[in-house]
Homo-oligomer: A and B are copies of this chain.
Amino acid sequence: MNPINISEKFKLFDAHWTPKKIGELNGQQILLAKLKGAFIWHSHADEDELFMIIKGSLKIELRDKTVTVNQGEIFIIPKGIEHRPIAEEEVHVLLFEPLSTKHTGAIINELTVETYESI
C-alpha cells in the first residue's frame, strides 16, 4: 500500500507495445505502455478498454472514424469495437481494463504479449 508514481514507472522499460502492470483492483488491471508506430486492428469481445494519454498524442483508428487523443485525455473503447492505435511519435499511455483482456484480442501474432510483467 504505497503510492505508485507513474513517471517513475515509465523509466523502468523502453519496449514499445509491451504493457507493464502497475496495479490491480476490482478484477481490473492498470497497465502502462509506450507506443510507437502502428498496432494491429483488433477488438476485445467482452471488455471495454480505457486509454489515458500520459505523454504525446495517439491516433486511434476505428472502422468509421479516426480519433486523436491528446495528453491529459481519456478515451474509452467499448467492447467489440475494432480499433487500431497509431503513434506517429512515441506515446506514453495508461490502460485500464479487466484482468481477462487479451493484448491483441482474438488475434495472436508476433506483437502479442501473453502475460504482462508487473513493475
Contact = CB atoms under 8 A, between A and B. Distances in A.
A-side interface size class? 20 to 34
A47 interface: yes
A4 B78 CA distance: 14
A4 B98 contact: no
Interface in A7-58: 7, 22-23, 25-26, 28, 30, 47-50
Contact of A72 (B1, B7, B28): B7
B3 A70 contact: yes
Nearest to A5: B73
A5 B98 CA distance: 23
A2 B72 contact: no
A87 interface: no
19 contacts: A2-B67, A3-B67, A3-B74, A4-B74, A4-B75, A4-B76, A5-B72, A6-B72, A6-B73, A23-B50, A23-B74, A25-B48, A25-B49, A26-B48, A26-B97, A28-B28, A28-B96, A30-B50, A30-B74
Interface of A: 1-7, 22-23, 25-26, 28, 30, 47-50, 62, 67-70, 72-78, 81, 96-98
